[in-house]
Amino acid sequence: MPDKKIHIFDTTLRDGEQVPGCKLNTSEKLELALKLEELGVDIIEAGFPISSPGDFHSVEEISKIIKNSTVCGLSRAVQKDIEAAAAALKYAKRPRIHTGIGTSDYHIKSKFNSTREEILQRAVQSVKWAKNFVDDVEFYAEDAGRTDNEYLAKVIEAVIAVGATVVNIPDTTGYCLPYQYGDKIAYLINNVKNIDKAIISCHCHNDLGLATANTIAGVIAGARQIECTINGLGERAGNTSMEECVMVIKQHKHLGFYTDIKTEMLNPVSRLVSDIMRMPVQPNKAIVGSNAFSHSSGIHQDGFLKDSLTYEIINPEEVGAGESKIVLTARSGRSALAHRFRKIGYEFTRNDIDVLYERFLKLADTKKEVVENDLHEMAKTYKPIEEIA
Ligand code: KIV
Ligand code: ZN
C-alpha cells in the first residue's frame, strides 16, 4: 500500500518572504524557522542563498540550528547558484538543494530565448551539479502548470534518471483548474517510467483562488509533498496556504492521508507570521482569520448553540483558535443575546429576554457590534416587569 504521509514543505521564508514589505532579517527568520520545526514541518525552504549576502547568511544560520526538519535552499539551474546553495547549507543535518528551470514555452521562448532540447539539457545538468554536494535534490519545472504534458514528462524522467529525489510541478501562475492540475500529476505518474524513484511535489499559486483546491487535487492524484506558506503568503495572490491543506487532509479522513503538523499550533504560528511580517490576515481567512469561528446571524447562532456541529466543521481548539465566538449584531437572535448575558453572569427569564431583545435591536441598529460593555449597561438599567408592577 503506498505511503499516505503528506510531506509538508514550508516556503514562508522564501516564496512568502518575496512579498513586498514582508522582508525578514536573520534573527526574525531564525525565530520563525524554529517555530516551523516545532509545528512539524518536514522541509523548511530557508531562502535563496545566491540572491543576497543577507539571505545566504540566514540560510547558513538556520542550517545550524534546525535539528529535525530538512533545510532547503533555492537556486536557478545555474552553477554558481547551486554552489552558493550548497555552501549555505553546509551545516544542515538534512540539506536539500532545490534547483530548476522554466519548462513552459512561454519561459523557454520569452525568458530564455531557447529551445525545449536545450532546456532539457540544462535541467539535467543542474541536478548533476547539485548531486555533487547533497543527496537530496529537488527539481522544479517552473510554470509546469502551462507546460505541455508530454514535454514535462520527458524533463521529469530525465532529472530523476540523474538523481532528483523530489520533482516539483509548480503552477507558477495559478492558471490550472483543479481537474487539470490533478490530471497533470496523474499523467506524470502514468507516463514517467522512473516516477517511483521520486516524490512528486505540488507548488501552487493562488491567482485564481484555486491554490488549495489544486494542491489537494494533486495529492489525490498521487503527489506526496505540498509546498505551502503560513497564511497563504507569497508572490502576487500568494501560495497555497498550509493551514487550509493540513485541515482539508485532517477533515477528510476517508482520503487516508495524514501530515505531521501539530494543528493546535496553526493559529499561534499564523499570528507570529502576521506580526513578524507586519502583514494582517484577512478576517474571513479559513482556519486562521478572526472570523473563522465567529457566528453572527440569528439562524446560525441558534443552531450553533443547540449543537456546534450544525454550523462548524472544525473545533476551534483543534487549530489553536480558542473558543468559537457569538458576535452580537442587528442580525442576532434572542438565544444569542441570552447566551452572551449568561457568559458574563446574568441569568434572565424568557420574558426578560423578550424585553431586553427589543432594546438590544434598537442599539444594534446604531452600531456594527454590540459589545460586553453594552450588555453590562443594559443589564444594570433593566428592571424586570414584576418589579415595576
Ligand atoms: O512558483 C514557482 O514556480 C516557484 C519555483 C521557484 C519553485 O516558486
Ligand atoms: Zn512559487
* CA 325 to ligand 2 center in whole angstroms: 35
Which residues are CB-neighbours of 349 under 8 A, at least 6 positions away? 384
Q: Which of 189, 107, 98, 117 is CA-nearest to residue 145?
A: 107
Atom number, ligand 1, closest to the C-alpha of residue 140 = 7
DSSP state of 282: P
Q: Is 301 helix (H, G, I), strand (E, B) or coil?
A: helix
Cross-strand pairs, 322: none
* CA 238 to ligand 2 center in whole angstroms: 8
CB 281 within 8 A of CB 291: no
Looking from the CA of 29 toward its CB, the CA atoms found within 13 Å total 30
Q: Is the CB of 172 under 6 A from ligand 1?
A: yes
Q: Is the CB of 170 under 6 A from ligand 1?
A: yes
Phi, psi angles (nearest 5°) of residue 290: -65, -20
* CA 15 to ligand 2 center in whole angstroms: 6
Enter the pTM of the model: 0.96
Any idea which ligand is nearest the CA of 75?
1
What is the residue extent of each domain of the chain? 7-277, 294-388
> Which fold, 7-277?
TIM Barrel (3.20.20)
Helices 211-221 and 178-191, packing angle to 10 deg: 30
The secondary structure of 232-280 as a DSSP string is G--STT-B-BHHHHHHHHHH-GGG--B----GGGHHHHHHHHHHHHT-P
CB 102 within 8 A of CB 58: no
Mutate to test the pocket of ligand 1, among 17, 51, 96, 140 (most ligand atoms within 8 A of CB): 140
Nearest CA to ligand 1 atom 5: 142
Tens-of-pLDDT digits for all 389 residues of the chain?
457 999 999 999 999 999 999 999 999 999 999 999 999 999 999 999 999 999 999 999 999 999 999 999 999 999 999 999 999 999 999 999 999 999 999 999 999 999 999 999 999 999 999 999 999 999 999 999 999 999 999 999 999 999 999 999 999 999 999 999 999 999 999 999 999 999 999 999 999 999 999 999 999 999 999 999 999 999 999 999 999 999 999 999 999 999 999 999 999 999 999 999 999 999 999 999 999 999 999 999 999 999 999 999 999 999 999 999 999 999 999 999 999 999 999 999 999 999 999 999 999 999 999 999 999 999 999 988 666 55
Per-residue pLDDT, 383: 86
* CA 205 to ligand 1 center in whole angstroms: 9
Per-residue pLDDT, 333: 96
Q: Is 319 helix (H, G, I), strand (E, B) or coil?
A: helix
Q: Is the CB of 142 under 6 A from ligand 1?
A: yes
Cross-strand pairs, 169: 202
Per-residue pLDDT, 75: 98
Nearest CA to ligand 1 atom 2: 172
Distances, alpha carbon 155 to alpha carbons 123, 180, 205, in Å: 7, 19, 22
Mutate to test the pocket of ligand 1, among 15, 200, 240 (most ligand atoms within 8 A of CB): 15
Atom number, ligand 1, closest to the C-alpha of residue 239 = 1
The secondary structure of 85-111 as a DSSP string is HHHHTTT-SSEEEEEEEE-SHIIIIII
Q: Is the CB of 163 under 6 A from ligand 1?
A: no
Q: Which of 40, 95, 33 is CA-nearest to residue 70?
A: 95
Q: Which three cell numbers stand for residue 288?
A: 486562521
